[in-house]
Structure 1
Amino acid sequence: MSLPKTAHSARVIALDRTTVAALRAHRDRQRREGLRLGERYRDSGYVFTGLNGDPMAPDRLTRTFRELVAEHGLPPVRLHDLRHGAATLALAAGVELKVVQEMLGHSSIVLTADTYTSVLPEVAHSAAEKTAAHVLEAGRLVPGTNRTRRRPPSRKNRRGRKNRKGRISRSRAHPSRQVGRPQRR
């Protein structure tokens, strides 16, 4: 195994459940291959190896990737492009730029922002929509509660109700709690 390019390159990467399951299945296949080969199998500790367990040569990995892309009818893409694709998808999904920076191991958030500026307007638009939806939803709630406000009366029922003294009251709240114009008498 070779050392990482920089000290910051050695980091923990969070993975989703589906990816973890796929990697575990891959590890199980490698273990079965190792048992079949017996002493000829070398456990190198790498995820992607040759049949004997030795690290896979980078050019072989690239060639295998190209073959898989062609086999599945995908547009031509380089193996390294997957890194950019992952970052783009994360930003489009609303992952914060700082988290993407850490994911990629960029030393500066400016580098991440400069590299993925084409995605940021879409992310900004999505953020604006989410913020507006949140404000509109919050406006439906009675402040300090999770209860929704009552709908204002329809135009037909705007005359109000008569109170005990026979006066028309536009609000059912106590007069001292009413906000707005004072009622005419």
Structure 2
Amino acid sequence: MRKGEAAALQWTDIDLKEKTISINKSLDFAEASKGNKDNMFGDTKTYNSKRIITISQSLANDLHFHKKFQNQNKTALNEHYHFDLNLVLCRNDGNFMPKSSLFNSFSRILKKADLPSLPIHSLRHTHAVLQLEAGTDMKYVQERLGHGSIQITADVYSHISKKIEQDRMSKFEEHMKNVLE
């Protein structure tokens, strides 16, 4: 997901039983920081960005645990909790997480893991490359990322991984052995 799509996720967008997430809006960080709750949710980047993605069982389990944690906060804070937003990724009081907090927490995680500083959007790229390295076809990755065309996905990701290049060459060599025999 793009950062705005992730920040806009509400629990009604997630089906833990079916293991799906409906991506149908984006958080406008500028409007949200002004306290303008009526305009804080906007459209996704493009028409094709609206999509339903499947998630792994382990992520569904993590989200279930996170929901329980949030429910404890809701009980403890009662009327001080922002029930109306129903956000998945939020502050402890249920309010939206500012863009700076999102970036700073990601930076702290990388620093703790002794990893170089990276933009948070790199998680989206990493996910796409790992999908491709696992053998997922380009069309699936295009739809998962919400790209308008397969060409966009191919232009950005097809040449990015040495593993993919090596796998393709190995498949080509194997094919040529069969052709020549």
Q: Which residue of 2 aligns with 1:55?
A: 96
- 1:36 is aligned, of 76, 99, 120, to 76
Q: Which structure: greater strand fraction?
A: 2
Match of 1:124 among 155, 168, 171: 168
| Contact 2:48/2:146 (8 A) holds in 1 | yes
Q: How far off its partner does 1:39 sit? A: 0.7
1:2 to 27, 30, 41: 41
What SS is found at the alignment partner of 1:12? strand
Pairwise CA distance, 1:104: 0.8
Mapping for residues 75-86 of structure 1, pairs under 5 Å: 75-86=116-127
Contact 2:46–2:148, Cα closer than 8 Å, also in 1 = no
Any gaps of 5 or more consecutive residues in structure 2? Answer: 1-39
State which structure, 1 or 2, has the greater radius of gyration over its C-alpha atoms. Answer: 1
- Whether 1:87 aligns to 2:135 is no
1 CA distance for matches of 2:173 and 2:86?
A: 46
Cα distance per residue 1:88-121 (max 9 Å; x no partner): 0000000000001111111111111111122352
1:111 corresponds to? 152
C-alpha distance 123-23 of structure 1, shift in aligned 2 (>3 A): farther
Structure 1 residue 24 and structure 2 residue 64: aligned?
yes
Q: TM-score, length-normalised on structure 1?
A: 0.65
The amino acid that maps onto 1:5 is K
Instruction: Using the aligned pairs only, state the percent identity.
Output: 32
The Cα RMSD (Å) is 2.1
**What SS does the corresponding residue of 1:102 show, helix, strand or coil?**
helix
Q: Say whether the 8 Å CA contact 1:92–1:122 is kept in structure 2.
A: no
TM-score by length of 2: 0.66
| 8 A Cα contact 1:101 1:108, kept in partner | yes
| Alignment: residue pair count | 133
For 1:126 and 1:79, locate their aligned partners in 2 and report how far apart those are by CA, in whole Å: 33
Unmatched 5+ stretches in structure 1: 136-185
Matches within 5 A, 1:130-149: none
Q: Does 1:71 align with 2:115?
A: no
Question: SS of the residue aligned with 1:53?
Answer: coil
Higher relative contact order (CA 8 A, sep 6+): 2
